[in-house]
Each structure stands twice: as structure tokens, then as C-alpha cells.
Structure 1
Amino acid sequence: MILILGGRYQGKTAYALKNYGSGTVVFDLAGQEITGMYGAGIIVNLQEGVRQLIRMDIRPEEYFRDNLAKLAGKILVGTEIGCGIVPVEKADRAWRDETGRVYQLLAANAQKVERVWAGIPVTLKSDPERC
């Protein structure tokens, strides 16, 4: 599993396609149900998958932990939502917190973690023995 993080519209998906999966099926959690993501090679908008799970009253961290094996070999792309102003709404704060916990879990279990900013990747973690 490779985890790619960064801000909105920073080139994460384009980077993932160029470097890990030209021609690979991209699954967008912003518009598709999370349960269908396992058939794709690249899964984008992880933060929206977390939002879906919260709405279904499923604990996101547990869901992703229970499904780590299904994510092996996948490219996961998530938008950083933890910086900036703390949301006023309690539900939005919970979403932000849960997304951060899921990102930590995925980063700990990923073979590689990259941050893309302005289209430029920075490797945060690389475990060549697991790649």
C-alpha cells in the first residue's frame, strides 16, 4: 500500500496516475460508496470515505483496520483536512479528527507515504523491503 497525502488541488491524483498506475482504475470516494473501493488500484478522497463511515455510524479507524489486508497493493490518496481553522460544527470536528486517525493508521501500515504539494512529491516514509 502507498499513501499519498496533500492539500486540495495539489496534484495528488495526477502524481499517483503518472507514477503508480497509468491505466489503473481510479475509485473516487467523493461520489462512490466505500464498500466498492477494493476493486480499484487507486482510491482517492479517503477523507470522504471517512465521512461516509461516520454517517453509517461505523467507526472509521476500526473499519480501515479490519480491512487493511484488502488495501494491500493499493494506492490511497487523501486530502489533508486537519490544518487551518477548527470547524465550528461538532460533526465536522469529529470528521476531521477521525480522518487524522485513519491517516495515521494507514501511514503506519503503508510501505510508502508521500506528500504532494504543488505537484512536487516528498517521501515521508519508504520501506523498500515491503515495496
Structure 2
Amino acid sequence: MHFIFGGAFNGKRKWVKERYHDAFWCSAYRGDKLVMNSRHNVMVIEGIEQYIKESIEEGMTIEEVRRAFQTIVTDWLLLEASGHQVVIIGTEIGKGIVPMNPQDRAWRDSCGYVYQHIVKNAHIVDHIWYGVSNRLKGEQE
């Protein structure tokens, strides 16, 4: 798995498109349903934070979201074991002021837990800030 994260509008999508030309895209921003598998060689999941937010809005607790996404990550790892590549793009929402709204806090906290699990299991992790990548895990390009 390759996890790419950074601030909103910091060039993550462009950076991924430059590296994964023929990938199948599943985008929360377009309203796509989150997919666990694909017949395509490379699958990009864009907006993982939005899929997490949907789970919170549906009434899941932080722990339920955490467990659900652990299962999803396991499914993606199994997909990769069969020769596919999964690329996940997430926007960083955990920096800054803690939200006053309990639902927004639950979303922020859930993203933190899910991102930690993704990073732990990803082979490559890149942080994109203003279009510049910083490889945090995996071989350098």
C-alpha cells in the first residue's frame, strides 16, 4: 500500500496522477462508493477522510470506525497480495484547533486512528506539502 497525505489543496491528487497514470480512481469527492477490490492493477482511493466522516455521520463510534477501517485495510492488503497496488490519499485534518462539535472531534480522532493503522501497514508513505513530497516510509524515489 502507498499512503499519501497532506493538507487540503496541497497537490496530492496531481502528485499521484503523475506517478500512477493508468490507475482506477475511487473518489469520495465525486461521491464514489468506497471499494475494497478492483480488477485494475492500480486502485487509488481518494478522500479517505471523507469516507471516515460518512461513517461518523451514520452514527458509528470512534471504535467502530477504527475496527471497520482495520478490516478494510486488511482487504486492501489481500488485494495487494494478489498482485494489485492500492494507493490511498488522505487529507490531514488533525492539526490545528480541536473542534468544539463532538461529531467533528470524533471525525478528527477517527482519522488519526485510521491513518495510524494505514501508515503501519503501508509499504510507502509520502507527505505532500505545497506540491513537494517528503518520503516518510519506504524506498526513496
1:119 corresponds in structure 2 to 131
- 1:44 and 2:46 matched: yes
User: Is the 1:61–1:98 contact (alpha carbons within 8 Å) kept by the matching residues of 2?
Assistant: yes
TM score, norm. by length of structure 1:
0.87
Q: Distance in 1 between matches of 2:5 and 2:36?
A: 18
TM score, norm. by length of structure 2:
0.81
Tell me how far 1:127 sits from its aligned partner.
6.1
Count of residues in Structure 1 that have an aligned counterpart in Structure 2:
126
1:1-131 alignment, distance < 5 Å: 1-19=1-19, 21-30=20-29, 31-34=31-34, 36=35, 38-39=37-38, 41-58=43-60, 59-72=64-77, 73-126=85-138
Secondary structure of residue in 2 paired with 1:8: coil
Tell me how far 1:76 sits from its aligned partner.
0.1
2:80 corresponds in structure 1 to none
Tell me how far 1:37 sits from its aligned partner.
5.3
Tell me how far 1:82 sits from its aligned partner.
0.5
Q: 1:3 to 1:53 in 2, by over 3 A?
A: same
Fraction of identical pairs, as percent:
29
User: Is the 1:54–1:95 contact (alpha carbons within 8 Å) kept by the matching residues of 2?
Assistant: yes
User: Is the 1:82–1:97 contact (alpha carbons within 8 Å) kept by the matching residues of 2?
Assistant: yes
Matched letter for residue 43 of structure 2: G
Tell me how far 1:33 sits from its aligned partner.
2.4
Matched letter for residue 67 of structure 2: E
1:23-65 CA-partner distances (Å, limit 9, x unpaired): 212111232222x353371111110010112233442211121
Q: 1:42 to 1:115 in 2, by over 3 A?
A: same
Task: Structure 1: state its 5+ residue gaps.
Answer: none
Secondary structure of residue in 1 paired with 2:100: coil
User: Is the 1:37–1:43 contact (alpha carbons within 8 Å) kept by the matching residues of 2?
Assistant: no
User: Is the 2:36–2:75 contact (alpha carbons within 8 Å) kept by the matching residues of 1?
Assistant: no
User: Is the 1:27–1:37 contact (alpha carbons within 8 Å) kept by the matching residues of 2?
Assistant: no
